[in-house]
Amino acid sequence: MTKYGFLGLGIMGFAMASNLVRAGHDVTVWNRSPGKAKALAAAGARVGQTPRAVVAGADITFAMLADPEAARVVCFGKDGVLAGTGPGHDYIDLSTVDDDTSRTIAAAVTATGARFLEAPVSGTRKPAEDGTLIFLAAGDRSLYDAAAPAFDRMGKKRVYLGDIGQGARMKLIVNMIMGAMMASLGEGLTLAGKSGLDAETLLDVLDAGAMACPMFKGKGAMIGKGDFSANFPLKHMQKDLRLAVLLGDELRQPLNVIAAANEDYKRAMAAGFADEDMCAVAKAVRS
């Protein structure tokens, strides 16, 4: 039986690791704050004391970390991933990072003789809990194939995109579109309210036409209820928009809509909504 490691037990990581444990896989977990690791231990997981220990004891280790800085610290820090990798101890980073961070980690990991794959996910808390995420993988194809049983337990679709960096780029592009759509929905709901129109009626009209999508339906309902509990924290969306704008700069591609949406999220961050759901951008739009 393949032994899996899992680093990072935030909103997404906890749900993903839980699905592996429930499926009967041998899983060792680590989290910077130990509380969530203890909860998974009660469900049957082992708990590693450091990323190094987890990677060294696993055949394949997944990491689901908050941002590029966290991904680099967990990889290169004291008792980090790099100290535990080597032939037979492979590493898959599921975090949403920029392509330069992914390539830097990939080069360091593969230099030890281990295989590396980037596989950021499309989806938020509910898909993570339901095992219906989408994996956007790039890097070592043999590792992609070897990890297929775990991917298929945690998600409903996986795609292989080629060289390292392409998975990171695809994820940023997917998220930048989603972020702009969410900001647009916030503006639409605000304008409807100021026009004397009912927000639920607007959502019904959207749901009946070409713009029907689960995000508008779900996030629109959250906004209507004033429920901004985080499924996808707003601070993470703003980070992804910032990285997308940087990618546009790198490739000399104007991203006028995305840059404007990023300003809405920055305003929402400044207003204190960073740890709320990304749909809290609607509150910043209203103000």
List residues with catalytic annotation: 171
Angstrom distance (rounded) from CA 138 to CA 154: 17
Residue among 10, 6, 135 at smallest CA distance from 66: 10
CA nearest neighbour of 182 among 233, 120, 134, 248: 233
CB atoms within 10 A of CB 37: 22
Which residues have a Cβ under 8 Å from the Cβ of 201 and sit 6 or more positions away? none
**SS3 category, 234:** helix
What is the spatial distance between Cα 128 and Cα 124, in angstroms, rounded to a whole number? 6
The C-alpha angle 274, 275, 276, rounded to 5 degrees, equals: 95
**For the chain, how big is the Rg over CA atoms in Å?**
19
Count of Cβ atoms closer than 10 Å to residue 33 Cβ: 8
- For residue 38, the number of C-alpha atoms closer than 13 Å in the C-beta half-sphere is 3
* The residue type at 67: D
> CA 213, 249, 231, 34: dihedral to nearest 10 degrees?
150
Q: CB neighbours of 254 closer than 8 A, spacing ≥ 6?
A: 248
